[in-house]
Amino acid sequence: MIGMYHFLTVAALLFSMGLLIALSKRNAIGVLMGVEIMLNAVNVTLLTFSRFSTTDTPVAGQTFVVMIITVAAAEAAVGLALAVSLYRNRQTIDVDQANLLRS
Amino acid sequence: MEGFGPAFAFWMLSLITLVAAGGVMVSRNLLHAVLFLIVTFVGVAGFFVLLSAEFLAMAQIIIYVGAIAVLVLFAILLTPRASRDNGETKMAAPAALLAAALGAVTVFVIHDTNWDRATESPNLAVSALGEALLNTWVLPFELASVLLTASLVGAIMLVRSPEEEAEDVLK
* Domain segments of chain B as ranges: 1-95, 124-171
B167 inside 8 A of chain A by CB: no
Taking only the tens place, the pLDDT of each residue in A4-53 is: 889 999 999 999 999 999 999 999 999 999 999 999 999 999 999 888 87
Contact indicator for B35, B16 with CB cutoff of 8 Å: no
pLDDT of residue B154: 93
As a whole number of angstroms, the distance between CA B64 and CA B47 comes to 14
Residue B95 identity (one-letter amino acid): A
Spatial distance between the Cα atoms of B38 and A19, rounded to a whole number of angstroms: 17
What's the domain range around A10?
4-95
Amino acid at B24: V
Q: Which of B12, B32, B37 to mutate to test the interface with A (most CBs of A within 10 A)?
A: B37
Quote the CA–CA distance of B5 and B102 in Å, as a whole number: 31
Q: Give the mean pLDDT of chain B.
A: 89
Say if B17 is an interface residue toward chain A (CB within 8 Å): yes
ipTM associated with this complex: 0.92
**Cα(A84)–Cα(A86) distance, integer angstroms:** 5
Is the pLDDT at B171 greater than 70? The verdict is: no
Does any domain span residue A85? Answer: yes
Give the pLDDT score at B90.
87
Answer whether residue A71 is part of any domain.
yes
Q: Where are the alpha helices (DSSP H) in A26-59?
A: 28-51
User: Could you tell me the pLDDT band of residue B128, with boundaries at 50, 70 and 90?
Assistant: confident
Alpha helices in chain B (DSSP H): 4-26, 30-50, 54-60, 69-77, 92-112, 126-134, 138-159, 162-170
Indicate the CATH number of B1-95 among 2.120.10.10, 1.20.120.1200, 1.10.150.120, 3.30.540.10.
1.20.120.1200
Pick from A20-34, A51-65, B143-157: least confident: A51-65
Q: For the ranges B4-8, B28-32, B119-123, which has the lowest average pLDDT? A: B119-123
- Per-residue pLDDT, averaged over B85-104, amounts to 91
CB atoms under 10 Å from CB of B115, counted, come to: 15
